[in-house]
């Protein structure tokens, strides 16, 4: 028996997760991704720049912005996940994507706490944690792309997409 693929294209709540064919999750994930990538750049720069305290301080707050952004992205992403039929490959990939993102968010929250008040360049421990978390986020992002581009989760069907190519 095949699950209805159209079910995963429709939002559980259009008001909360975005209308058909235009989900909110993809735009919200840009906040934590951008903040966390920038935080690692600041971390690395704190080891070579003239004012490591300022860069370490900036990295710490970029991590906090990323965690808050991840919570917003996770909220609407979870609504999208609920639309995927259980027992399907898309559901398993969605569950892995969700789990990895949860682990990454927890890792960055711990990283924020571990850093404390900046005093010089970012210590190696938090720096390594950030890099590992960012690598894990990359794997999870790949899986999220597979959900959208391979399985069409929350993507409009082809007949709707064709409207954009009519003259």
Instruction: Give the pLDDT band of residue 4 (cuts 50, 70, 90).
Output: low
Count CA atoms within 13 Å of residue 41 on its CB side.
7
d(CA 32, CA 65): 7
Percent of the chain with pLDDT over 70: 87
Three-state DSSP state, 87: coil
Are the CB atoms for 134 and 59 separated by under 8 Å?
no
- pLDDT, tens digit (0-9, with 9 covering 90-100), for 97-146: 999 999 999 999 999 999 988 889 999 999 999 999 999 999 999 999 99
Predicted local distance difference test score (pLDDT) of residue 157: 76
Kindly report the number of other CB atoms within 10 A of residue 64's CB atom: 14
Q: Give the separation between CA 18 and CA 8, rounded to whole angstroms.
A: 13
The pTM score is 0.88
> Among positive and negative, which fits the CA dihedral 151, 153, 157, 162?
negative
25-57 residue pLDDT tens:
999 999 999 999 999 999 999 999 889 999 999
List Cβ neighbours of 77 (8 Å cut-off, separation of 6 or more). Answer: 25, 28, 29, 98, 101
């Amino acid at each position: 028996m095949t699950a209805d693929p159209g079910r995963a294209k429709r939002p559980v709540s259009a008001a909360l997760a975005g209308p058909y064919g235009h989900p909110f999750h993809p735009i919200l994930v840009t906040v934590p991704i951008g903040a966390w990538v920038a935080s690692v750049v600041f971390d690395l720069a704190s080891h070579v720049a003239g004012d490591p305290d300022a860069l370490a301080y900036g990295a710490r707050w970029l991590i906090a912005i990323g965690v808050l952004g991840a919570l917003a992205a996770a909220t609407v992403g979870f609504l999208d996940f609920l639309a995927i039929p259980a027992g399907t490959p898309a559901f398993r990939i969605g569950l892995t994507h969700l789990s990895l993102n949860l682990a990454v968010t927890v890792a960055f929250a711990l990283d924020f706490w571990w850093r404390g008040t900046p005093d010089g360049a970012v210590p190696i421990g938090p720096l390594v944690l950030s890099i590992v978390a960012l690598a894990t986020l990359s794997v999870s992002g790949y899986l999220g792309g597979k959900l959208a581009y391979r399985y069409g989760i929350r993507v409009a069907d082809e007949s709707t997409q064709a409207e954009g190519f009519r003259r």
